[in-house]
Structure 1
Amino acid sequence: MRRISVIATAAAMATAVTGLAGGQASASVQSLGTCVTHYGNTVAWMDCKGGTQASWVRLGYNCGIPPATVNRLTQWYVLAAGGKGTVSARCALPMNRAWYNVRVY
């Protein structure tokens, strides 16, 4: 049975700022959230920190006993600009690795 929990995903968004400087348009630099993944025994989790714009994040993990392992993904969660969050997942079998995916909100 798989259990997923999410902590502290907020609902704020940053907007891109575009201005004119000397007749040329310049856009502010936008950054997505970043995450650090961990796994051990039968649990995988990621701790995420928001960038300057809101992001979608999800946790990927591999569980099972080699060679019979399975890659799984959590659903996508919103990570607010400057926010923090944790996503975790549990397998009945041992975890082999974990990774994260980030995309623009």
Structure 2
Amino acid sequence: MTEPQTELGVEDRAPELVPLNAIFATDFVAILVPVTTANTMDEVAAAVAHHSEGRRVRALPYPKVVIHNGRKLPGHMTVAEACIQPLDHVAVEYEIPGGAS
């Protein structure tokens, strides 16, 4: 007798590749960034910023936030938890405190 098949939860699967269309802050170049379902939003932000920050966009001393479908995602959230799909568009912006310019 075989054991019944159970569906694996998101946290039980091996990380899968998720290429994202991304843009960083005021950059004019959209890029394709490979991340995995296990990457956190902090890691996604760093991966996107790597291609622009200090090159076409001036580096600023503020944390970065990922925006997907109009919502800011917490840094600890994974790509899988955020339900981000391959080729979805994300924007990465600096989280500038109120009043700073």
**What TM-score, normalized by structure 1, do the two folds share?**
0.31
Q: Which has the higher helix share?
A: 2
Q: Give the number of the structure whose residues are more often strand, by fraction.
A: 1
User: TM-score, length-normalised on structure 2?
Assistant: 0.31
- Bigger RCO (CA 8 Å, 6+ sep): 1
Q: Which has the larger radius of gyration?
A: 1
